[in-house]
Amino acid sequence: MKYRLIVAASLLAAAIAAADLAEDVRCREIGFSQSVENQDIDAFRSFIDADARFVGSGVLRGVDQIAEGWSVFFKPGFPTIKWRPQIVEVLDDGKLALSRGLYISTAANADGETVESWGTFNSIWRLNDDGVWRVVFDAGSPAGADPDEETRALLAQQDDCP
């Protein structure tokens, strides 16, 4: 009987720890987006692992190349980008995580009208030796259709991360 209680308590503690780690990654992902929303390139760089790879139409490698590739988002005006995670999964060892969600990018077309582009992203986060989660892989793809209202609301809601 005592053994079962110990096992149950251990499993409960592990589940709570995993939920805490997932919440940490969720908040890091939101902070990562906010660094771009606030056009804070130094904060943006702090979220990127030294070994990072961002995959799009090509591959950007390392903090400097990624920051240069994303520099367009750190200038006044268009384009802008914002994203939020919908799913966060952390491996049992607590050192690697996946976050997946939607993004919206806004730009001006040739007529100066604002155009929205929606899509999904996948980020792989690694817990570094300093105890900080940083993005090690990132990729996104355009959405097949515009999102529904519930999905759009995710980007409009208040963030509850410190």
Give pLDDT, residue 53.
98
Give pLDDT, residue 61.
98
Give pLDDT, residue 21.
96
Among 146, 138, 143, 151, residue whose Cα is nearest residue 36: 138
Give pLDDT, residue 12.
35
Give pLDDT, residue 154.
82
Confidence of residue 146 (pLDDT cuts 50, 70, 90): confident
**What is the reported pTM?**
0.85
Average pLDDT across the chain, whole number: 88
Domain-wise residue ranges, the chain:
2-156
The answer on pLDDT for 17 being more than 60 is no
- Which of 89-98, 125-134, 146-155 shows the lowest per-residue confidence on average (mean pLDDT)? 146-155
The answer on pLDDT for 32 being more than 70 is yes
The DSSP secondary structure of the chain, one letter per residue, reads -HHHHHHHHHHHHHHHHHHHHHHHHHHHHHHHHHHHHTT-HHHHHHTEEEEEEEESSSEEEHHHHHHHHTGGGGSSSS-EEEEEEEEEEE-TTSSEEEEEEEEEEEEE-TTS-EEEEEEEEEEEEEE-TTS-EEEEEEEEEE-SS---HHHHHHHHSPP---
Give pLDDT, residue 18.
55
The answer on pLDDT for 72 being more than 90 is yes
The answer on pLDDT for 82 being more than 50 is yes
The answer on pLDDT for 8 being more than 80 is no
Q: What is the CATH number of domain 2-156?
A: 3.10.450.50
